Every structure is written in C-alpha cells, then in structure tokens.
With several copies, the nearest count.
Chain A
Amino acid sequence: MEGQLTLSELNLLIKDSLETAFPEQLWVVAEIAEMKINRTGHCYLELVEKNSETDAILARARATIWMWQFRFIQPYFETTTGQPLTNGLKVLVAVTVEFHEVYGLSLNIKDIDPAYTLGDLARKRNEVIARLTEEGIIDMNREIPLPDIPSRIAIISSPTAAGYEDFMNQLENNASGYSFYTKLFQATMQGADAPRSIIMALDEVFEMADRFDVLVIIRGGGSQIDLGCFDDYELAMHVAQFPLPVLTGIGHEKDETVTDIVAHTKLKTPTAVAQYLIQKFDEAAEIIEHAKEIFINRVTNILHNENQLINASIRLLRPLVKNSIENASLKLRHKTKEVKPVIEDTLELENFRQIKLSDKVAAACQTAFQQQRNRIESLSVSSNHNTKLLYLKEEKIIFDKLHRLKYLSERILEKKQSQVNLFEKTTNLVNPENILKRGFSITLKNGKAVKNSRSVKHGDRLEHILYNGKIDTVVEKKKQK
C-alpha cells in the first residue's frame, strides 16, 4: 500500500515534527509520580497531572534528568526548598520534548524551578493548616496544659531509630536523678506509610492516655528532608485532637511540619525533647527550691520582725512610762506651786478688806460727826476736830438747855419776887406800925382798941399807942359829932 511508512520512518517523522513543533525548551508544571536514579546517576521520572478535585490523572509523561544535570539540579532544589526531590512533589521544570525512535516520548528536564515547588508545598501546607484552623482544632493540643512535671511519657518512635536511643539515654542519665516513666509505641516514622502507622500508634496511646502525662513523637537518624509525611492532614488532625500534650522531636532544621504546628510543643530533636522534659523538672525543682527559700526567708523575717517588734515595744515602753510619770509629776508640782500664791492672794485680799473696813469704821464715825457738825453749824462752834462735833453739839444742847432752864427759872423767880414785893407793899400799907409813923395812934380801953368814940365816956382811962411808945390818958371831955 502506498504511503506506507515504517515505524521508524513514522517515528522519525514524529521526531522531526516534534522538533519542529517544540524547538525551544518549555516550562512545564507537573507532579512527580515516580522517580528513580540508576547506578550511573541518571534520574528517571514519571510526571503526571491530576485533577485537583478528583485526583484523576489527566496526563502522564516520562522524563529524564541526565546525570550531569541532576548532579546540580538535585542539591540546588533540595537546598532551596528543604525538601527532597521525591514522589508527589509538584515541580516546574524546563523541558525539551524528545522523541526516540525506540524509547518513545520523553521529556528531558534541563532545569527545575524550586521556587514553584516551594510555593506549591507551602500552598498545600497552608491548605492543611487552613483546614485545621477552619475545623477549630489547630490549637487544641496546645491548649492542653503541660503538667508541671511531665514524668509519665508515652513515646511514638521507631525503636531502632538513633533518635529514640538518644532520647532514652538523655532521660535516664539526667544529672539530677529525676525519675521518668516511659513507654514506647512503635511506628514507622518516614515514608508514605508513616502517617497511617503513627496514627495507629496514637490510637494505642489514646487507649491508656490516663497513665501518661505527655506524648512524645520522635524521629531521628533518617533523612533530614524526608518529612512530607508530617504535613499529612490526617496525622496532624489526630495529633491536634490528642488528649495528652504532644511533644515533637521530628528532627529537621528549617520549616516546621504541620504536625509540629499542631503539637503542644515542637522541639528540633529527640535529645531536645528529653532536655525539655528534664528542663521542666529542673524548673519544678527550682520552683520548689525557690518556694522553700522564699518561705524560709519569709518565716525567718516574720520571726525576726516580730522579735524586733517585741523589743521595740519594750524599748518604747520605758520612755513612754517615764514620760507619763514625768508629766504627772510635773503637773503635780505645778499644782502644788499654784496653791501658795492662790492662798496668799486670798489672805492678802482678806487682810486688805479688813483694813479697808477699819478705815471705813473711822470714816463712818467721822461722817457721823460731820453730820452732827452740819446740823449745829449755826452754833458756829469752831473746831477742826470733826470727831468732837457730836459732843460739841450735844454739849451745846446741854448748854442751851441749861440756859433755858436759867432763863425760865429766873423769869419765874422774878415773877414770884414781884408778887412777894406786891404783897409786901400791901402789907406795909396796912401795917399799923406804918400808920402810927404818920401820926396816928391806937386808943385802947381795957386793952381793947377803941374803934368808936361813943364807947368812951368821961373819965375813962385810956391807953394810947403811938409810934415808938404808949401814953395813958383820962377822958376829960367828950365831943360828939
């Protein structure tokens, strides 16, 4: 049949077409499905593209990194990403499309851009973290309080791992002689099986969680970059929700795994975990010692202070008491001193009052005399001695009375005298003797006065009484009127 081509002719034709179609190298995104390195150092890979939803494979291609390129690419990649160039990684590779008549289509990888992978891993990791966060469990384990002394330790590790041995050595030979109780739960700690294996171990620990204070996940001695399994969502979810605080010592230098993130405390190595635990004990011991020290100090202080207080009170008491007594004594002395002037003043006052009263007596007498003087001033008795005035007045009264007496007496006596004189005069008038003096005479007859001449007869003998004598006669003749 015309136009028939041999397979080689076809393949050559394909080869030419491809070379024409893809003359330049191309940057292609793919996932490493499988990767092998042969003895000569060439790297053979299977690249795929998966549906991000379903994981169904959409495309597949073989690829090769020749030894001389791989020698540069691999370390560069791993150094840059911190990840081994391994299955499951998404990579951005610079490829030339090659077609070999015998081996078929193959992509020759000239270069890998680690930045892309890094971004992709980060994205994936971020997705896991975002999911855990969204589910609200990312901090769950961290929220479990770590016991002050995490002494009962469940360990998930590979028994043969050097890291486990380091961990145990560290714990058992701790310098302070702390006592730890450990129990190992075995698990595969690397590779694709690791998550499942570790989850199984977790379930085992979970069954007896109350016997332990803490769970330690340690891995050691393996590749420093074979840690993708610890970004596994399932594993991280289990760790996050584990009822005991989880300490990780997975052993890597750079970015932490998601397991580290959800763990209670992430440490770099198993030894570091052991040291961490010992450190917790050290801290506790220190706290106890510190508490003891503080306590002893405080108690000692209190006792000392109280003693000081008592002594201070004793020291205070003496001056206070002395002061108090001094004050009382002073007050008493003052009071005593106060008595004398008060009394003396009083006596002085009284004495003064008496003197005043004596003066008043004299003054009153004087006043009395003065009053008398005023009353008899008209008598014009001149005396400067007021005190004598009373007497003078009375004397005057007496004197007056005497003179009144004299006057009255004399008046009366005069009157009487004149009466007597009158009577005397009258008497003188009638006195016969005085009549005789004037020449009359009394004629007696027989001793009796002759009052009438008729009683005389002739011849009667008559006696005549004259002044200074008598004469006898005889009647011779009688004449009658």
Chain B
Amino acid sequence: MAQKKQTYREAMQEVEDILSSIENDEPDVDELAEKVKKVSQLLKFCKDKLYKTREEVEQVLKDMDE
C-alpha cells in the first residue's frame, strides 16, 4: 500500500539511502537480504513508473497530434 503512494523520487531517494547504509553500516546478512529485496522492489517500482510515464507521455503526445 505504501508503495503505491510513494513517488519515483522518494523511491529513488530510498534506494540511495539503503545503498548508503549498506555501504557505510555494513549490515549483517539478515539485513542485507532484506535491504536487497527492498532495493529490488524500489527499483522495480521506479522502472515501472518510468516505463509507464514514457508510455503515457507518448500516448498523450500521440493523442495531441491527432
């Protein structure tokens, strides 16, 4: 639920934060797995969003031309 409301920007920020924490805090393996999953999810979300945006914009521009 929370991810739906999350923005691309926030998601990317979170990815950055997580990566930072991985880099600096040396998480243990338990957390690492969790964090990797989280990053994976976030990046997937961004990718989807980016793709969707592209689709949308292109559709809109295409519609506009008509």
Contact = CB atoms under 8 A, between A and B. Distances in A.
Given A317-B19, A328-B27, A405 B50 contact: no
Given A291-B43, A394-B46, A328 B15 contact: no
A372 B27 contact: yes
Interface string B40-66: 100100110111111101101100110
A426 B27 CA distance: 15
A402 B54 contact: no
Contact of B54 (A298, A323, A364, A391): A391
Contact of A325 (B9, B23, B53, B60): B53
A19 interface: no
Interface band, chain B? 35 or more
Interface residues of A, number: 110
Nearest to A296: B61
B57 A410 contact: yes
| Residue among B15, B53, B58 having the largest count of chain A Cβ atoms under 10 Å | B15
Contacts, number: 363
Contact residues of A: prevailing secondary structure: helix
A302 B32 CA distance: 9
A398 B43 contact: yes
B12 A335 contact: yes
Contacts of B27: 302, 305-306, 324-325, 327-328, 331, 346-347, 349-350, 368, 371-372, 390, 412
A413 B27 CA distance: 10
Interface of B: 8-9, 12, 15-16, 18-19, 22-23, 26-30, 32-33, 35-36, 39-40, 43, 46-47, 49-55, 57-58, 60-61, 64-65
Interface of A: 147-149, 151-152, 176-181, 211, 281, 284-285, 287-288, 291-292, 294-296, 298-299, 302-303, 305-307, 309-310, 313-314, 316-318, 320-321, 323-325, 327-329, 331-332, 335-336, 338-340, 342-343, 345-347, 349-351, 353-354, 357-358, 360-362, 364-365, 367-368, 371-372, 387-388, 390-391, 394-395, 397-399, 401-406, 408-410, 412-413, 415-417, 419-420, 423-424, 426-427, 430-433, 442, 448-449, 451, 465
9 contacts: A147-B9, A288-B43, A296-B61, A303-B29, A317-B39, A325-B53, A398-B47, A405-B39, A431-B36
User: Shortest 10 CB-CB distances between A and B: which pairs?
Assistant: A151-B53, A368-B27, A324-B27, A181-B57, A179-B54, A302-B27, A409-B57, A346-B27, A179-B53, A408-B22
